[in-house]
């Protein structure tokens, strides 16, 4: 019996004939019938239930002949919630909302969200997405909270901060998937090319994109490992990435830990050099995320599912080095990143000029991986607590599991045939120090420089 057969028909043919599902006399009949999405979904569910109850076709036929179709349907519906099962399966069905507005910041971290537009990943899912370039992270936060954006590119600590009400009104915003891993760098002004050791950086000024950014947390971590107190020994200034390059040129800052392509842009403009890639601090660290309001996926589950599929497949596509060239061409124009192609190429291929006269080859300089590890969320929370952004006690595990939708992502990635890890937690190694997500409090206590 095929999944599309009427499972209550005792005379269903058991062998294929006519059309691809075997239920119609011709392929044309089949296609006409299959257009009715709801009918098709409910038929598939009924078939699945009947097949579960009667694995043997002969048994099913005998049962139906003996009690009659109507009785059989009624009898099965009494003990099996057929309606609920159909509703669940219909998720891949009708989209509640097809016109979506998604915000992004023009940096390479947003590659999957952006390229999914020009390369047709949204359209394939039946979504009509307007990608709205946004002036800054605070504007992104406000527009998501105002529901001007249905979903948005965010820094991965932002949904945690918003859900906890840090630096904004408290509103549940979740991480549907991670966008990029790695792909940031510490860039220093050329005048500091002899000060490679961070122990010599006392008194310097650094640019950062946002308080609730992985950049802030990584730079603080890095400085603290070198014995500098990031709140006392250096000055950290929040500014948009293009201002980082301009301020570096003007000498207002000594360096920055910023998103690409602005590190490479500083090299290209001959004002700075790449000191350390963020992958050398924490290989595989999360950077940007795809964030949605909790209300959105509750209100529009099918649209959310389609959106997730588009983003996850785009992320997987961006992960493959052979696709990077096509992606660069899609995202470089003024409508998206508005950046010179040679700069983007060096970022995306990992073969780049470091600003000090050397060509380096680091293929995983930036990478893309959608799975939102909850252990990453726990790490971010420990650091937010470490620098006193989170005041008071916090249940790391609970917040991480509420905000990072790892279980949901795994299920949906499996549906797409993408490999997802079996666990939501893993141990991470940051600058040689192992972080065990089951012991966040002990981890936090192990640091000498902290605000708690």
Residues of this chain that bind other proteins (CB under 8 A): 106, 130-135, 139, 142-143, 146-148, 240-242, 245-246, 265, 267-270, 333-336, 338-340, 342, 346, 351-353, 357-359
To other proteins, the closest distance from the beta carbon of 162 in angstroms equals: 14
Q: Which is nearer to other proteins, 44 or 274 (CB)?
A: 274
Plot region of 290 (φ>0 → left; ψ -120 to 50 → alpha; else → beta): beta
To other proteins, the closest distance from the beta carbon of 427 in angstroms equals: 36
Residue 183 near residue 287 (C-beta atoms within 8 A): yes
State in Å, rounded, how far the first CA of the chain is from the last one. 64
Q: Which is nearer to other proteins, 346 or 375 (CB)?
A: 346
To other proteins, the closest distance from the beta carbon of 101 in angstroms equals: 9
User: Which class for 225: exposed (0-12), middle (13-18), buried (19 or more C-beta within 10 A)?
Assistant: middle
Cis peptide before 261 (omega within 30 of 0): yes
Q: Which is nearer to other proteins, 201 or 352 (CB)?
A: 352
Q: Which is nearer to other proteins, 87 or 341 (CB)?
A: 341
Residue 179 near residue 112 (C-beta atoms within 8 A): yes
In angstroms, rounded to a whole number, what is the distance separating the alpha carbons of residues 285 and 183? Answer: 9
Q: Which is nearer to other proteins, 72 or 271 (CB)?
A: 271
Q: Which is nearer to other proteins, 176 or 267 (CB)?
A: 267
To other proteins, the closest distance from the beta carbon of 357 in angstroms equals: 6
Q: Which is nearer to other proteins, 60 or 141 (CB)?
A: 141
Retrieve residue 359's tokens: 């060509």
> CA-CA distances (angstroms) from residue 291 to 22, 327, 426, 428?
43, 22, 22, 23
In angstroms, rounded to a whole number, what is the distance separating the alpha carbons of residues 45 and 37? Answer: 12
Q: What is the maximal distance between C-alpha atoms in the chain?
A: 90
To other proteins, the closest distance from the beta carbon of 197 in angstroms equals: 24
User: Which class for 328: exposed (0-12), middle (13-18), buried (19 or more C-beta within 10 A)?
Assistant: buried
Q: Which is nearer to other proteins, 223 or 245 (CB)?
A: 245
To other proteins, the closest distance from the beta carbon of 136 in angstroms equals: 8
398 contact partners, CB below 8 Å, separation of at least 6: none
In angstroms, rounded to a whole number, what is the distance separating the alpha carbons of residues 443 and 333? Answer: 44
Q: Which is nearer to other proteins, 89 or 246 (CB)?
A: 246
To other proteins, the closest distance from the beta carbon of 186 in angstroms equals: 19
In angstroms, rounded to a whole number, what is the distance separating the alpha carbons of residues 436 and 438? Answer: 5
Q: Which is nearer to other proteins, 207 or 230 (CB)?
A: 207
Whole-number CA gyration radius for the chain: 26
In angstroms, rounded to a whole number, what is the distance separating the alpha carbons of residues 87 and 46? Answer: 12
To other proteins, the closest distance from the beta carbon of 27 in angstroms equals: 39
To other proteins, the closest distance from the beta carbon of 327 in angstroms equals: 17
To other proteins, the closest distance from the beta carbon of 342 in angstroms equals: 6
- For the beta sheet containing 151-155, the strands, ordered from the edge strand earlier in sequence to the opposite edge, are 128-133, 99-104, 151-155, 288-293, 173-178
188, 213, 284, 323 alpha-carbon torsion, rounded to 10°: -80
Residue carrying structure tokens 């790695």: 182
Residue 8 near residue 72 (C-beta atoms within 8 A): yes
């Amino acid at each position: 019996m095929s999944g599309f057969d009427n499972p209550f028909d005792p005379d269903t043919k058991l062998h294929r004939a006519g059309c691809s599902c075997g239920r119609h006399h011709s392929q044309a009949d089949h296609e006409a019938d299959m257009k009715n999405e709801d009918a098709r979904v409910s038929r598939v569910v009924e078939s699945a239930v009947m097949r579960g109850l009667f694995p043997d076709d002969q048994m099913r036929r005998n049962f139906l002949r003996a009690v009659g179709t109507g009785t059989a349907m009624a009898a099965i519906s009494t003990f099996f919630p057929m309606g609920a099962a159909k509703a669940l399966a219909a998720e891949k069905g009708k989209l509640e909302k097809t016109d979506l507005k998604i915000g992004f910041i023009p940096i390479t971290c947003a590659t999957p969200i952006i390229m999914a537009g020009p390369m047709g990943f949204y359209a394939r899912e039946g979504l009509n997405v307007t990608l709205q370039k946004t002036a800054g992270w605070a504007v992104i936060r406000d527009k998501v909270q105002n529901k001007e954006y249905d979903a948005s590119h965010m820094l991965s600590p932002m949904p945690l901060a918003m859900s906890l009400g840090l630096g904004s009104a408290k509103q549940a915003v979740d991480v549907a998937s991670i966008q990029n891993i790695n792909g940031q760098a510490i860039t220093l002004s050329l005048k500091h090319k002899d000060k490679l050791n961070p122990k010599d950086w006392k008194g310097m000024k650094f640019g950062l994109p946002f308080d609730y950014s992985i950049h802030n947390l990584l730079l603080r971590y890095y400085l603290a490992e070198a014995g500098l107190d990031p709140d006392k020994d250096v000055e950290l200034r929040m500014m948009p990435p293009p201002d980082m390059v301009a301020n570096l040129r003007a000498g207002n800052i000594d360096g920055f830990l910023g998103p690409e392509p602005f590190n490479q842009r500083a090299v290209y403009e001959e004002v700075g050099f790449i000191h350390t890639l963020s992958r050398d601090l924490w290989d595989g660290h999360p950077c940007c995320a795809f964030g949605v309001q909790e209300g959105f996926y509750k209100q529009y589950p099918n649209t959310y599912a389609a959106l997730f599929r588009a983003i996850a497949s785009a992320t997987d596509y961006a992960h493959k080095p052979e696709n990077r060239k096509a992606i660069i061409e899609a995202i470089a124009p003024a409508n998206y990143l508005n950046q010179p192609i040679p700069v983007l190429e060096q970022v995306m291929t990992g073969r780049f000029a470091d600003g000090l006269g050397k060509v380096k080859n680091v293929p995983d300089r930036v990478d893309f991986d959608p799975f939102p590890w909850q252990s990453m969320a726990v790490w971010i929370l420990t650091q937010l607590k470490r620098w006193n952004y989170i005041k008071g006690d916090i249940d790391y595990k609970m917040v991480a599991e509420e905000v990072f939708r790892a279980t949901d992502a795994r299920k949906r990635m499996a549906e797409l045939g993408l490999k997802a890890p079996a666990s939501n937690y893993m141990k991470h190694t940051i600058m040689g120090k192992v972080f065990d997500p089951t012991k966040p409090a002990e981890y936090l206590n192990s640091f000498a420089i902290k605000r708690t």
